[in-house]
Structure 1
Amino acid sequence: MKTLTNNIFCTLLLVAISWSASFAQGGKSGGAKVSGSLLNEQGKPMDYATVSLIRATDSTVVKGALSNDNGVYTFENIRSGKYLIKASVVGYQKAVTTPFTVPESATTVTAPALSMHAGSTELKGVTITATKPLIERKIDRTVMNVENSVLAAGNTALEILAKAPGVTVDKDDNISLKGKQGVTVMINDKLTYLSAAELATLLRSTDGNTIKSIEIITNPSAKYDAAGNSGIINIKLKKNSQSGTNGSITVGAARGAFWRDNTSLNLNHKEGNLNVFGTFSRGDNKNTRDISIDRITRDSAGKPTYFNQLTRMPHVYHYNNYRIGADYDVTSKNTIGFVVSGYSNSELDNNNGSTKIGATPNRVDSSLTTVSTIDQSYKNFAANLNDRFKIDTSGQELSVDLDYSKFKNNSIAQYNTNYFLPDGSTPHAPQLLRNQTPSNITIYTAKVDYTKPISKTIKLETGAKFSSVKTDNNLQAQIFNGNSYVNDTTRTNRFIYTEKISAGYLNLNKQFKKTSIQLGLRGEYTQSNGNLLGSTPVDRSYFNLFPSAFINHTLNDKNEISFSYSRRIDRPGYDDLNPFVYYLDPYTFSKGNAFLKPQYTNNFEFNYTYNKSINVSLGYSRTTDVITEIILTEGQKSFQTNLNLQTQNSYSLNINAPYTITKWWTGNVDVNSFYLGFKSDSVGTGKLSSGQVTVQVKATQTLTFGSYRFEIRGDYQSPLTYGIYKIKPRYGVDAGVSHSFANKKANIKLALDDIFFIRRNNVSSHTLGNDFDIRQINDSRVGRLTFTYNFGNNKIKTREHKSGADDEKGRVKGAN
């Protein structure tokens, strides 16, 4: 079936290319390209304004569009005639150009300049003006504009991500999109190449005040790496866009169970052809969580043993992040640049757990206490060199990125376990374990992208990429023998993993009068080697084709539909492949699986958009060899690992609706319903067939009164089944207020997360020999106070750059 699908898409792509070439040589143009720009009274671009092209003779609306970040709008294939442009945006007066003519033979026409003036409504002496909406729907993605959000102040990237439409962050900080795990996270369009645990560490150490927006792309094109079965989340960081010297400083404090603080500094200097920029952020985050586990194990005769485990896990996290770069305009068409970034983070966990063991639920035959101290450090250095060359004015462009990243992580852990009988006596000496786990990860990537407009309505995109990753994990385990610590040969080991991926892609875009079509094909060749010293290495090499197709059709100025398809791959995370054993206590541990295979997904999605704002999407995907977290038992011990299950079928319905009640009261409702069906005929000693319809609702209200902005957000998730897990409902409420002053250069924000302290992570499993209930209480009610001050000049916009090393980083642990 896979071969047939690939052959069909290859044939379609070749036919499309041949047809496009003949069209470019002999086809007739569908009309002229009309473009223009919108500015406000200060001469600054008006982005995301609603723009209409109107026939001057009868006032008929011909086409609609939105202005981009630079205030520029474009209408394709416009017939000859007399027209005018009408523009509107909340908080501004509507603006209309003088009539202009599109000549019969014209190919491009520039509409008259249009200036928009702020409209204000007096409400008890308060002036209301427009801001970019919190949730914004674009043709191929949903955008969460974090920069203007009160709730983002003082939060980390991971905490903000949990508030995004369709996104869920579970008790272990795994990220899901519309219920599906396997999300690829990018930062500034660059892959992160990190494991799930390392990605969580990275996002926890990214200050929310440095984030501009979060883009959610559920069905990426062939231009993107094929990794990520549920789509891509792209976190866009702020980049100062003014000339001269300017920047901002943010200082924040927060209080949950403990005090927290954060500070960030952004600087930018532009002079002539040179632009230099930098960001530094630091923070201390101390919190705690309590985990309670009730479980039952049974011996070969079916006799049960009852365990009641309670662990308190205080956690101290400190981070220092930096990012420094420069862009230099060699000529008006060629810009070179570099970015150096990194972090130095530390983490200290002091876990205190107790376990009661008995033959009946209320009987204690023995007990144990485990005190563990885990001291971890994470260091990263990354460098990017890039060159962007605009070959001509038609849009032909060539860009090159070279990336290098080095991660050095280290963990020193001490586990002390004492055993007790019911009378309080100790049957034997305590068990003392000590681990040291240095880990080194090196990543090299190189990519080149080329864009060529074949005609006014046809564009070709192509490119290639190579990445090389090496991870070296060395577990040095020791046990106390009564006199000193000695090497524990049963656990000490070293795991080295290498991976090389060579990729190329081709995208062909065709624009008709009301319809746009994009066909894409990406090929990736992967070579990997997992070597647990002392065991047989696991070698793999495989080549895959990843076709994609996108069709977008405008029914009229208010209604738009689209369909998309893509084939995706998810390779196992580096941690998931590492077969080391990590203990919570002598009866509970986790270990990797060096024999994990990649999983493959076919994604289909249909979208309907009303009035450029309300969006409804229907999705279906089928994943084979789905990588799934499983808990298995070995006698009285339970351990977590990952296995390849046979299939996962996913059905989803998403509705996102922004609305305006008055000029000062806006809102957004995001409703996401999905069904995840897992099926496997062989899991351990049993079979698995699970699934459940789940509904997620997120609602945000924003009220603006002059320089004051209020936000309140609520979320709810109904019961969810994921593989072997049954997850109880989750819900909570957040609120915040901000005030701008000092001519809008200063801003102070006060926010409270989880006001009623009701967000919980409660999970159970009663399948495949499992019988357990987990209750987790996080330090989720946190009050935050954040102050930001902007300084410097406001003139020229700097270049926004994307590099090529972010996919691989997303699979590493401890990254920033």
Structure 2
Amino acid sequence: MKTIIHNIFYTLLLVAISCGVSFAQQAPPAAKVSGALLNEQGKPLDYATVSLLRASDSTVVKGALSNDAGVYVFTNIKAGNYIIKASVVGYQKAVSKSFAVPANASQVTAPALNLRTGSTELKAVTITATKPLIERKIDRTVMNVENSVLAAGNTAMEILERAPGVTVDKDDNISLKGKQGVTVMINDKLTYLTAAQLATLLRSTDGSTIKSIEIITNPSAKYDAAGNSGIINIKLKKNTQSGTNGSITVGGAKGQYWRDNSSLNLNHKQGNLNVFTSLSRGDNKRGHDLRLNRVVTDSLGNKTYFNQRSLMPGSNHYNNYRLGADYDLTPKHTIGFVVSGYSNSGTDNNDTKTIIGKQFGVADSSLHTTSVIKQTYKNFALNLNDKIKIDTSGQEISFDLDYSKFKNNSNAFYYTNYFKEDGTQQHFPLNLSNQTPSNITIYTGKVDYAKPITKTIKLEAGAKFSSVKTDNDLRAQKQDSVTMAYLNDTTRTNRFIYNEKISAAYINLNKQFKKTSVQIGLRAEQTRSTGNLIGFTPVKRSYLNFFPSVFVNQTLSDKHEMSFSYSRRIDRPGYDDLNPFVYYLDPYTFSKGNAFLKAQYTQNFELNYTYNKTVNVSLGYSRTSDAITELILSEGNKTFQTNDNLQTQTGYNINVNTPFTITKWWEGNINATAFYLGFKSDTLAGSKFNDGQWAFQGRTTQTFKYAGFRFEVMGDYQSALTYGIYKIRPRYSIDMGLSKSFMNKKFNVKASCDDIFNIRRNDLSSHVINNNFDIKQKNDTRVMRLTFTYNFGNNSIKMREHRSGADDEKGRVKGAN
């Protein structure tokens, strides 16, 4: 530890000296000669052998290799006349015209060289390299789903449920290593949505368009500070091969209902231009069976028993599109744009029967509620990006401008009939209707800069501004028992407008020692927000926060490596959670927001050990203050859901992840996590609350290969756990899949079955703070799938992987549904 502290001190000292030197007056630098190598299509050639020769006698002065941008550099070159000679396998050698390096020159650009394809063509060689399903990197865990059998025909949500350490609860809240507050990104673009909106987006994202899922448990200062348990980044496929190519995917599935999906991916790359597009559509219908038993005790101690069963089938139709292009103005300068969006619709048909009595099984009265909820979701997003490689040392700057517009609408109809003990109608039915248009507009702009100060010190800095406005308008009506007309219901109608502006800046310093690397970062975020429930006093907030981060990586030997990381994070309340008005679901169940809900702050610590670049063990500790927690509380004989700040949430976890290979045809991965979550509050519903529990989560994947077939089996288990006031029961399942390629791997067939024994459930209960309820629910989890994929076009080996400009980021969106 003393050595590490010394290393950190020397890092800061060297950075200070280097920065000081960069501002001091310096002598003119020695001459630097640089240039670029291109093929016949104008595409850069990487790892070519380049020689600098004297023009007078062709004596070799220096040699070099071109980088992945086709650029080569020679330093400390004396004045004189020179020529460039280049060669690479598969191309004819090329020699440039003579050029001069003046005596007082600091930098000279050599004439561009275009290499022609060799006259003797090599026979086609097929190189097959399959990435492991689970891959551990220094700062993240990667789930490579692109070639996984289980990914075929699944949506992004269904794939995400299989990621290491990830769980999705009954309300589609995503947890990582037991903790909620996960930030979900798509292609490095932040998508802060409500759980319902995020679930809709992920269910509308075809699994065949996904390349990998990255799990970052402790992000650096470069990332937004939101998300107390880390970041999940879903990387979509982007074809980078030359020419025109693409793929078509068609799939069908059968659970309780039929499902289908299809997608088209196209890519055209010629010279400096790369154009790509993807279209996907699908229909998903799913079942959901919920049973709720609750006991409500009034102030006199009298108990009322509610026995409720809800059948909640839902359907979703999605149409997604994405179109973009990158253009290399020069080998160092890339501009690009991406247009994306969707037009989705969904319908929920709920049928709920509730028996009310003095004990379970004995009915004093009952009610029957049916509801039809029709929703539409539309989104248009535009990203403009610009990336400039300032020099060959790695200095670069990138810019992003983003605009995104969401337009969601919901029409809901609720019909409730009341019955006496003998089954006759008790009184006039309660018939309600809601219209909930929601408009969300986001503008963001960001800049990122990176500069290697020395060979071992690198500086990263950037700034970002985002502006978000969400307008949620709840228009409610109630049927009049006399006129039978639907009249405006002022007790439920409301309009909530939320504006938020966040200004942020960050700096990261990286220092590489012989066997130690250190990164120190600091991010500052200024938040200004106004929540306005029309007719009430607006709630305004303005606060400045600092978010430090530290990463230390120590190589102990060729096979042993350790790292330590620390970061401070924030989670701001969702817009719908701040809306204080009441949303009724039925006469005895409703939800309401909390306008005074505060942001929560988390301190994250993590220690990692890696053996042989494969086996990884991590220890983590986190402490969250003002933890935002979902609560279910009682109000008379009614039950309502809301959110409040608990005093603290404490978490400990240990994770073990290891791939294994038994034979050349049998390999797999094991991921196991043990974690403790504890919650404490001295003022929860007027009483003290202190509860927690150790839990275990295990997941294993087995892959078998034989005669061109690929068979996968995935088993998942999560023990009972405590989350806030909820006691969540164990859950487990087994998935299987089989795939085979034909026609020289252009045509692929995949068959799979999720939850093959139909045992995956989401059951929970609560018996604290006057709660006494049990929930048993079964989703439509056993689904059989068959998917066909055809790849077409130019599939030649690419020369380099072209990357687009800046990392795309989407601003925060938290609209109420």
Task: Give the TM-score normalised by the residue count of structure 1.
Answer: 0.85
Q: Are 1:362 and 2:361 counterparts? A: yes
Alpha-carbon distance in 2 for matches of 1:244, 1:129: 21
Q: Is the 8 A contact 1:196 1:812 kept in 2?
A: no
Amino acid paired to 2:225: A
Q: Are 1:185 and 2:178 counterparts? A: no
Q: 1:799 aligns with which of 775, 800, 803?
A: 803
For residues 14-29 of structure 1, the aligned pairs below 5 Å read: 17-18=15-16, 21=19
- Return the offset for 1:13: 9.4
Tell me which residue corresponds to 2:205: 206
Identify if the C-alpha distance between structure 1 residues 807 and 694 changes in structure 2 by more than 3 Å, giving closer, same or farther.
farther
Amino acid paired to 2:756: I
Q: Is the 8 A contact 1:377 1:410 kept in 2?
A: yes
For structure 2, list consecutive stretches of 5 or more residues without a partner in the other structure: 1-7, 25-66, 71-124
Q: Deviations over 1:198-253 (max 9, x none)?
A: 11111110001000000000000000000000000000000011111100010000
Q: Is the 8 A contact 1:197 1:812 kept in 2?
A: no
Tell me which residue corresponds to 1:773: 774
Q: Are 1:579 and 2:580 counterparts? A: yes
Amino acid paired to 1:642: N
Alpha-carbon distance in 1 for matches of 2:356, 2:643: 27
Q: Is the 8 A contact 1:193 1:808 kept in 2?
A: yes
Tell me which residue corresponds to 1:466: 465
Q: Deviations over 1:391-446 (max 9, x none)?
A: 00000000000000000000000000000001112221000000000000000000
Alpha-carbon distance in 2 for matches of 1:303, 1:70: 75
Q: Deviations over 1:555-596 (max 9, x none)?
A: 011000000000000011122222343333211122222221
Alpha-carbon distance in 2 for matches of 1:802, 1:700: 34
Alpha-carbon distance in 2 for matches of 1:594, 1:463: 32
Query: How much identity, in percent, do the aligned residues show?
Result: 70
For residues 214-613 of structure 1, the aligned pairs below 5 Å read: 214-482=213-481, 483=483, 484-613=485-614
- Return the offset for 1:603: 0.3
Q: Are 1:141 and 2:140 counterparts? A: yes
Alpha-carbon distance in 2 for matches of 1:424, 1:194: 44
Query: Which protein has greater RCO, CA pairs closer than 8 Å, 6+ apart?
Result: 1
Identify if the C-alpha distance between structure 1 residues 23 and 176 changes in structure 2 by more than 3 Å, giving closer, same or farther.
farther
Alpha-carbon distance in 2 for matches of 1:485, 1:551: 64
Alpha-carbon distance in 1 for matches of 2:805, 2:193: 21
Alpha-carbon distance in 1 for matches of 2:696, 2:136: 20
Q: Is the 8 A contact 2:380 2:406 kept in 1?
A: yes
Q: Is the 8 A contact 1:528 1:540 kept in 2?
A: yes
For residues 756-767 of structure 1, the aligned pairs below 5 Å read: 756-767=757-768
Q: Deviations over 1:303-347 (max 9, x none)?
A: 100000100001010000000001111112111100000000001
Q: Is the 8 A contact 1:24 1:455 kept in 2?
A: no
Tell me which residue corresponds to 1:153: 152
Amino acid paired to 1:390: K
Amino acid paired to 2:489: D
Identify if the C-alpha distance between structure 1 residues 445 and 129 changes in structure 2 by more than 3 Å, giving closer, same or farther.
closer
Tell me which residue corresponds to 1:676: 677
For residues 633-648 of structure 1, the aligned pairs below 5 Å read: 633-648=634-649
Amino acid paired to 1:597: K
Give the secondary-structure state (helix, strand or coil) at the position aligned to 1:148.
Answer: coil
Tell me which residue corresponds to 1:77: none
Alpha-carbon distance in 1 for matches of 2:21, 2:168: 48
Q: Is the 8 A contact 2:444 2:811 kept in 1?
A: no
- Return the offset for 1:800: 3.9
Tell me which residue corresponds to 1:718: 719
Identify if the C-alpha distance between structure 1 residues 389 and 792 changes in structure 2 by more than 3 Å, giving closer, same or farther.
same
Q: Deviations over 1:46-78 (max 9, x none)?
A: xxxxxxxxxxxxxxxxxxxxxxx9899xxxxxx
Q: Is the 8 A contact 1:447 1:804 kept in 2?
A: no
Alpha-carbon distance in 2 for matches of 1:250, 1:574: 37
Q: Is the 8 A contact 1:190 1:802 kept in 2?
A: no
Alpha-carbon distance in 1 for matches of 2:738, 2:687: 53
Give the secondary-structure state (helix, strand or coil) at the position aligned to 2:558.
Answer: coil
Alpha-carbon distance in 2 for matches of 1:347, 1:572: 26
Coordinate RMSD, CA, aligned: 2.2
Alpha-carbon distance in 2 for matches of 1:534, 1:587: 26
Give the secondary-structure state (helix, strand or coil) at the position aligned to 1:364.
Answer: coil
Alpha-carbon distance in 2 for matches of 1:778, 1:654: 28
Tell me which residue corresponds to 2:165: 166
Alpha-carbon distance in 1 for matches of 2:14, 2:382: 39
Identify if the C-alpha distance between structure 1 residues 12 and 659 changes in structure 2 by more than 3 Å, giving closer, same or farther.
same
Give the secondary-structure state (helix, strand or coil) at the position aligned to 1:160.
Answer: helix
Q: Is the 8 A contact 1:196 1:573 kept in 2?
A: no
For residues 634-783 of structure 1, the aligned pairs below 5 Å read: 634-783=635-784
Q: Is the 8 A contact 1:707 1:741 kept in 2?
A: no
- Return the offset for 1:193: 2.6
Amino acid paired to 2:551: F
Q: Deviations over 1:442-492 (max 9, x none)?
A: 000000000000010000000000000000000000000122000000110
Alpha-carbon distance in 1 for matches of 2:392, 2:806: 21
Give the secondary-structure state (helix, strand or coil) at the position aligned to 1:427.
Answer: coil
Q: Is the 8 A contact 1:128 1:663 kept in 2?
A: no
Amino acid paired to 2:550: A
Tell me which residue corresponds to 1:49: none
Alpha-carbon distance in 2 for matches of 1:767, 1:377: 38
Alpha-carbon distance in 2 for matches of 1:170, 1:128: 41
Alpha-carbon distance in 2 for matches of 1:729, 1:453: 50
Q: Deviations over 1:501-530 (max 9, x none)?
A: 000000000000000000000000000000
Amino acid paired to 1:592: G
Q: Is the 8 A contact 1:273 1:328 kept in 2?
A: yes
Alpha-carbon distance in 1 for matches of 2:195, 2:291: 23
- Return the offset for 1:23: 9.2
Alpha-carbon distance in 2 for matches of 1:583, 1:131: 51
Alpha-carbon distance in 1 for matches of 2:591, 2:561: 48
Amino acid paired to 2:658: A
Query: How many residue pairs align between the two structures?
Result: 711
Identify if the C-alpha distance between structure 1 residues 446 and 71 changes in structure 2 by more than 3 Å, giving closer, same or farther.
closer
Amino acid paired to 2:396: E
Give the secondary-structure state (helix, strand or coil) at the position aligned to 1:163.
Answer: coil
Alpha-carbon distance in 1 for matches of 2:774, 2:493: 32
Q: Is the 8 A contact 2:608 2:617 kept in 1?
A: yes
Q: Is the 8 A contact 1:712 1:733 kept in 2?
A: yes
